[in-house]
């Protein structure tokens, strides 16, 4: 039976650009990097002989990571699913101050799909949500769970 989450993954075109975004722009840590070559008879990816670079980024104290998968051979075809197409995916991060994060990331050139939408709960807590895109167009959601309002 399922015991919890391990990781999520995006197939990426430019592994260096994507690692830099998740590590340097978002502040995640490179947890592991693997040069993976599948055997000729195939493996769990269903692509016999596939050569891939796998980079796992996350928070050292966290229990979930993001796997960035770069296919060297065969290379990944170009194209991307729009956010409302079947099969489209995103990753979501909890944040402590959504408005400050939005301002910081905007100044670094991160493309936001939505501005932060902040609401107050009946208990007087403040929560928020917004979406951005990484350099290759993958959707990144940021959620500020309900926290005490500073106002």
In order of their start, the domains of the chain are: 7-73 (3.10.180.10), 90-148 (3.10.180.10)
pLDDT band at residue 151 using 50, 70 and 90 as cut-offs: low
What one-character DSSP code corresponds to residue 21? I
pLDDT at residue 38 in the model: 86
Residue 53 · residue 72 · CB < 8 Å: yes
Supply the pLDDT for residue 47.
85
Q: Which two tokens stand for residue 39?
A: 């055997």
Question: Does residue 150 surpass a pLDDT of 80?
Answer: no
CB of 19 within 8 A of CB of 30? yes
pLDDT of residue 129: 97
Query: What is the C-alpha radius of gyration for the chain, rounded to an integer number of angstroms?
Result: 18
Neighbours of 90 (CB within 10 A): 15
**Residue 149 — pLDDT band, cuts 50, 70, 90?**
low
Q: Percentage of residues in the chain with pLDDT exceeding 70?
A: 95
């Amino acid at each position: 039976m399922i015991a919890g989450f391990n990781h999520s993954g995006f197939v990426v075109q430019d592994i260096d650009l994507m690692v830099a975004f998740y590590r340097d722009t978002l502040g995640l840590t490179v947890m592991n990097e693997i040069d993976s070559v599948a055997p000729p008879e195939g493996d769990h990816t269903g692509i016999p002989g596939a050569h891939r670079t796998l980079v796992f980024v996350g928070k050292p104290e966290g229990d979930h990571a993001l796997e960035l998968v770069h296919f060297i051979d065969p290379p990944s075809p170009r194209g991307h699913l729009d956010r409302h197409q079947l099969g489209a995916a995103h990753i979501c991060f909890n944040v402590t101050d959504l408005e400050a994060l939005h301002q910081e990331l905007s100044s670094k050139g991160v493309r936001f799909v939505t501005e932060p939408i902040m609401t107050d709960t009946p208990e007087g807590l403040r929560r928020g949500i917004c979406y951005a895109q990484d350099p290759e167009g993958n959707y990144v959601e940021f959620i500020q769970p309900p926290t005490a309002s500073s106002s």
